[in-house]
Amino acid sequence: MKRLLLFAMMCASMSFVFAQKKGDKISKVITSEIKWWGSKVVKTAPTTHYGSLKLKSGKFNFDKTVMVDGEFVIDMRSLVVADLSGADQVKLTNELKGTNFFEVKKFPTAKFHLKKIIPLANEEYNSTIVGDITIKGIRKTISFPANAHVTQFTVEIESSRFALNRKDFRIFYQTSLKDHFIKDEMEIQFKISTAKVDNERPR
């Protein structure tokens, strides 16, 4: 019995160490901008649409002064179509938020877990971002170029305009020929920056 109790105490202490290992500092995102683009297979100005989304929350975890990872929640209900107005804007917005596309009532948020920032020898971008994105409950590992600057607990990232395959996340018309005219790739670009003052992780 004593051995069993000792083993349980050791497991508990190891779990505490690993939990603390993830990082003891948090730097919260204070400014953000997320843009999206979508188009039909025959890409022209009238068949290309664009808009924006809002970040619900975002933070970077630090172990001392080393960034461990980042965690971001996107408010899918904030989706806006920016290139249309009036009834056309309302129609497309409702369609994108509906059951054929992002199903925002069922999946009100999307998530991105930033796992790595890898230095990149490139004149346009200095880093490759690697992480897991979850849309409609489906998680995929992605990577894309970006300009990233990390100084102490301050983080600034501006991504390239990169593509996601909408069908990987079951974003398509289920029973309509219209889906064949829509390009599979939807494009995303974002900017985020954190506060300069870090916060201690609650213990």
Q: What is the pLDDT of residue 132?
A: 98
On the CB side of 49, how many CA atoms lie within 13 Å of its CA? 19
Q: Using the 8-state DSSP alphabet, how is residue 12 labeled? A: H
Helix or strand holding residue 192 (H, E): strand 185-194
HSE value, Cβ hemisphere, 13 Å, CA-based, for 126: 7
pTM over 0.75? The answer is yes
pLDDT at 199: 46
Lowest mean pLDDT among 59-68, 119-128, 178-187: 178-187
